[in-house]
Chain A
Amino acid sequence: MTKTETPLLSLKNIVTKVNVNTPNEVMILRHLNLDIYAGDFITVLGSNGAGKSTLFNTISGELPVNDGRIQLKDHDITHLSVEKRTAFLARVFQDPKMGTAPRMTVAENLLLASQRGKRRTLRLRRLKQSLPHFKALAATMNNGLSERLSTATESLSGGQRQALSFLMATEQHPDLLLLDEHTAALDPKTSAELMTQTNQRVTQEKLTCLMITHHLDDALKYGNRLIVLDQGQIKYDVRGAEKAALTKDKLLSFFDTIE
């Protein structure tokens, strides 16, 4: 299936190295090409060291690219800073501790995230006026988060903390959402719940999303597109009906061929 529309985000011939100019220099992404279209919900598979996290860090700007170009619609964003990219990009980390400010309350965290990518000015923050909205928002997660708006996030459970990170990332409808194994640190039940909420919110709000996962079942069940990364390149890319027809056995046999 081919698309004629312009991609939302386009990675062209991307080379990302770590430990540049040292004896330990390693090329992680090797001339990677990827076009992400608006509304894509892409599950990203790949073994350890395939370059999944590097791909995310390259998109978010944490890692500079050594060659190639990143384009957002018509803009070249290859050298845009991490902070500037947050205006269109949001991210949920694997570690629940990374996505929230521990000593600040749930509501304060949500308020900070509602200013994503904006200039922080000397205007009063107006926390009270936003509380009803935050309460309704937190209630969508069905895990008691809405009752704990004035609790410091360090006292939340891992599941609640990660649900909060997810809300903070999606509240402002980012053009692109990066989920980096965001359910991996949670117990199976909580993980499944967050996955369901994630799917619901991403499809309802028509968010464009990349989700790294190690669960083949999740990768098959969710999203409209699936890619497999291996040795810094995309080795497999299916979408739509073809993806829907994909089975776990087919996927496993594909993994056997690349190893």
Chain B
Amino acid sequence: MSMIVSSIGQGLLWAILGIALFLTFRILDFPDMTVEGTFPLGAATAVTAIAHGMNPYAATLLAFVTGAAAGLITGLLYTKGKIPILLAGILVMTACLSVNLRIMGSANVSLLGKQTIFSGHFLQSLPKYFDSVFIGLVVILIVTVLLILFLQTNLGQAFIVTGDNRIMARSIGINTDNMTMMGLMVSNGMIGMGGALIAQNNGYADVNMGIGIIVIALASIIIGEVVFGELTLNQRLVAVTLGSILYRFVLLIVLQLGFSTNDLNLLSAIILAVCLMLPQLSKKLHLNQVLKKGVAKYDEN
């Protein structure tokens, strides 16, 4: 039971990354590698700030700001420097490795004995792992509601259309460069904040904690899409969170099967690859017809 609660908690906390990546990967329609650098950047910023006595909430917000700053740099390289987005992301991600070491001063920093977001009286009174469920729920709720509202504004619509049809967006007076930079800033800010929360939940920050992040975030997006199918934009945002939790369940099952945590990156990549190939596989194997026929049979009875 506690394993399941832990998975839900982890799924909720990691869903922040999925939603953040949704903004660039699905709405702006490009893969942003920066996240592999901004996730540990946010963690390093928050953990170092907390270790120096900063309020954990302020430290988490600071992580958002540093993440957004890194996103801005990727955006400038891409829009003004005309560097392809994949390369721009990789450049900033690589630079972050050094920056993170500078910030932390060593390869990892522990939060042992420090006040974090998770060490309040109320959270400590909850049963084990319920603290991450609570914090995860609150943060996801705030982030999702804010994003849904934002996407309904004129600015939000201009942001969506930038990813949908850049030429048309420009032809009605939308500065697509600014929209792209805004998206990268908000997305990477959220990734930085996610890094800060997850580091506080783990009790430490490590320079290598960003490896494979993009695959995990993509997995929650893709699993949500595969499981829930055709949805409106707002529903898709919620589906990311559910996808993130489902992904944790899959990992839980895999670990129960006897794989070690060292295999997780390999397994994550395999899960994502299978999900991405599902549309092709279902076409090849006529999965849709088989499934529909199966349902139809039950309907007749």
Contacts and interface: CB of A to CB of B under 8 A. Distances in A.
Contacts of B175: 83
A210 to B, nearest CB: 15
A104 B154 contact: no
A118 interface: yes
The winner among A101, A104, A125 for most chain B CB atoms within 10 A is A101
B30 interface: no
B168 A101 contact: yes
B291 interface: no
A104 B171 contact: no
A124 B153 contact: yes
Given A98-B165, A100-B165, A104-B160, A122 B153 contact: yes
Nearest to B233: A103
A102 interface: yes
A108 interface: yes
Interface stretch (A1-9, A109-117, A223-231): A109-117
B180 to A, nearest CB: 13
Contacts of B168: 98-101
A104 B161 contact: yes
B174 interface: yes
B161 A101 contact: yes
A102 B154 contact: no
A93 B166 CA distance: 14
B174 A125 contact: no
Contacts, number: 78
Given A101-B161, A102-B165, A104-B164, A116 B172 contact: yes
A133 interface: no
Contacts of A168: 172
A115 B156 CA distance: 13
Contacts of B155: 120-122
Question: DSSP class of B's interface residues: helix, strand, loop or mixed?
Answer: helix
A101 B165 contact: yes
A90 B172 CA distance: 7
Interface of B: 149-150, 152-158, 160-161, 164-165, 167-175
Contact of B154 (A82, A113, A123): A123
Given A120-B155, A121-B154, A98 B167 contact: yes
Most buried by B among A60, A120, A168: A120
B167 A112 contact: no
A93 B170 CA distance: 13
A191 interface: no
Contacts of A84: 173
Given A102-B164, A104-B160, A125-B157, A112 B172 contact: yes
Contact of A111 (B149, B157, B171): B157
A87 B153 contact: no
B174 A83 contact: yes
A5 B229 CA distance: 60
Nearest to A99: B168
A117 B173 CA distance: 5
A91 interface: yes
Given A120-B155, A125-B153, A83 B165 contact: no
24 contacts: A83-B173, A91-B171, A93-B167, A98-B168, A100-B168, A101-B161, A101-B165, A102-B165, A104-B160, A108-B157, A112-B161, A115-B154, A117-B173, A118-B173, A120-B157, A120-B158, A120-B174, A121-B155, A122-B150, A122-B153, A123-B154, A124-B152, A124-B154, A125-B152
